[in-house]
Amino acid sequence: MIDETVEEISEMQTHSSSVVAVKAAQALRDLTDREYPTVEDYLRSLDRNSSALRRANPSHASLHTTQHRIVNTVSDAEPDDVAAAKELTNEAIDDVIDSVESSKDRAAARAVSEIADDDVLLTHDFSSTVLAAIDDAIEAGHSFEVYVTESRPRFLGRKMTRHLSDRDGVDVTLIVDSAAGHFMPEVDRVLVGMDCIVDDTLYNRIGTYPIATAAADNDVPVTVVGAAAKYVDGAFAFENEIRSPSEVLREPADGFEVANPAYDATPTHLLDTVVTDDGVHEY
C-alpha cells in the first residue's frame, strides 16, 4: 500500500493537500501488519517509508508535517517492544487523521460567513476544503454561480467542476485558465485553497498568482481557506515541484524547453482574507 500511495501522490492522482496527508498517514498502517525482529528495525522502517511518502511531493506542507508528527510521536515514546511501537503508530495515525479532517471541517464552516451572499465565485484547482465550504453554504440555504478554471496541465479544475455540478444550488461554468481575467468583472469573490503560507507568501497551485492579480485589478476580494496548520515557519522549507514536460506536451520537445512548475507564489497583500479553523485573518 505504501508504494502505491507514493506513486499516487507523485502522479497527482490525489490533488487536495488534506486528502494527500490523510492517505499518506493511512498508508503507514501497512507497517503494523509486518513482522520485525526488534524495535529498532521497526523504527528504521517507519522512518524510511515516511521519508518515501514525503519525497513523493516535496511541496506539500501538510504531508510533511503530519508524517513528521507520526514518526516523532512513536520514536520519542521509546517503545519497549515492537507491539507497543505498532500500537503507538496506529494511535498517532488516528490522531493525525482526526486533526486534518476536523481542521478542514472547521475552516470550511468558518468560510461560510465569507461566501454566503449568493455570490458569483471563481475558484482554481481542486480543494476539498473549498468544496466543503460551498457545501456548508448550500446547506445554509445559499446558492452560487461558480467559475472554475481548468487548472492545466493536469486539468484539476475539471474534477472540481464535476463535483460542483452535482450540487443543487450551484450553477457552474468551466473556463480555460487564461480566461480568468476575462470573467473577473462578473465575479464577487475568488475562493481558493492553499498548500501553505510561509511568512508573507501563499503557495498554491500554479495559476493562483495571476488570478489574484486580476482580482486585485478588478477590486474582487480573494479568500483563501485551509487549516491553520498550513501556516508554517522555518520548520518547513517550501520546495516547488517541477513536473514532467510530458504533462504539457505529448511529443518530445525538439529544440526548446518545457517549464512545468506545480505551484506559484502569491504575496499575501493580494489577499483579502485567509479563513482557517482558528479564525479569519485579514490582509
Listed residue (183, 206, 185, 208) closest to 267, CA to CA: 208
Instruction: Determine the Cα angle at 246 with ends 240 and 250, to 5°.
Output: 155
**Is residue 136 flagged as an active site residue?**
no
Instruction: Determine the Cα angle at 63 with ends 60 and 66, to 5°.
Output: 145
**Distance of alpha carbon 24 from its chain centroid, rounded?**
13
- Sign of the torsion angle spanned by Cα atoms 279, 109, 176, 171: negative
Residue 16 grid cell: 487536495
Q: Which residues, in sequence order, are bridge partners of residue 201?
A: 198, 267
* Set 195, 233, 264, 277: catalytic member: 195
Exposure on the CB side of residue 75, measured as CA atoms within 13 A? 15
**Distance of alpha carbon 74 from its chain centroid, rounded?**
25
The 8-class DSSP code of residue 242 comes to B
**Would you say 125 and 160 are in contact if contact means Cβ atoms under 8 Å apart?**
yes
Query: Rounded to the nearest 10 degrees, what angle do helices 128-139 and 17-27 cross at?
Result: 110
By annotation, the residues acting in catalysis are 195
